[in-house]
Amino acid sequence: QKEVEQNSGPLSVPEGAIASLNCTYSDRGSQSFFWYRQYSGKSPELIMFIYSNGDKEDGRFTAQLNKASQYVSLLIRDSQPSDSATYLCAVKETGGFKTIFGAGTRLFVKA
Amino acid sequence: GAVVSQHPSWVICKSGTSVKIECRSLDFQATTMFWYRQFPKQSLMLMATSNEGSKATYEQGVEKDKFLINHASLTLSTLTVTSAHPEDSSFYICSARYVDTDTQYFGPGTRLTVL
């Protein structure tokens, strides 16, 4: 059973701080990794994807990938109250079309 | 780009009736679409993978005769909940696979309430 593990949280950070969200996965052959944000009552929206080891930056978001450790993370700089949501880590399965989603980490950014 | 729509956004129906939900990729072609269900405060649950021109692949425990999926074109997949019961009340979300980046883009979801 392929798994994606996330700390359910809630993770609480003050406004302006860096929020760090972590994820581990079991499928060693996975090549594609995604972070989605889901506000309460809404569907997930893609934040960013990463395929290569290292860091990938997009605005206030940085995704980090370490395939050897089977670890993906998302950093949110200058956190804002509007960033309060559930963040889903997702890993595309090897050799198929399905993407395995973690259960999500709830983030609260306090004003 | 990579916009996915769903219709309707919400529906209320009586027990025993059937409900059809449409999922459309508006600005790209999607040979593969996915249907998820999400209960309040719970994780996304993949119900089935829909492939254009072929039968859908259902996840274990999902009744294919109850949740009928049709992917008749490269931009449209439909989910029909047949003989709906109150326990089918949930948030149904589709996604479409964008081939260029092998990424799933989600529709806004359909909230189904069965009375």
Amino acid at B75: T
| The pLDDT of residue A1 is above 90 | no
Distance CA B48, CA A22 (A): 27
Q: Which of B102, B103, B107 sits opposite A43 (nearest CB)?
A: B107
DSSP for chain A, written as a single string: ---EEE----EEEETTSPEEEEEEES-TT---EEEEEE-TTS--EEEEEE-SSEEEEETTEEEEEETTTTEEEEEESS--GGG-EEEEEEEEPTTSS-EEEP--EEEEEE-
The token pair at A60 is 């206030």
Cβ of residue A92 closer than 8 Å to a chain B Cβ? yes
Q: How do residues A29-84 score in pLDDT, each as one tens digit?
A: 999 999 999 999 999 999 999 999 999 999 999 999 999 999 999 999 999 999 99
Q: Do A98 and B43 touch (CB under 8 A)?
A: no
pLDDT band at A13 (very low <50, low <70, confident <90, very high): very high
Task: Note whether A56 and A33 are within 8 A (CB).
Answer: no
Cβ of residue B71 closer than 8 Å to a chain A Cβ? no
pLDDT score at A19: 98
Residues of A in contact with B34 (CB under 8 A): 98
DSSP A36: E
Residue B8 Cα distances to B2, B82, B101, B110, angstroms: 19, 16, 28, 6
pLDDT score at A97: 86
Residue B44 backbone phi and psi in degrees, to 5? -60, 135
pLDDT score at A2: 81
The kind and range of the H/E element at B2 are none
Q: Which of the residues B106, B110, B112, B113 would you substitute to probe the A interface, choosing the one with the greatest number of A C-beta atoms within 10 Å?
A: B106
Low-confidence ranges of chain B (pLDDT < 70): none
pLDDT band at A95 (very low <50, low <70, confident <90, very high): confident
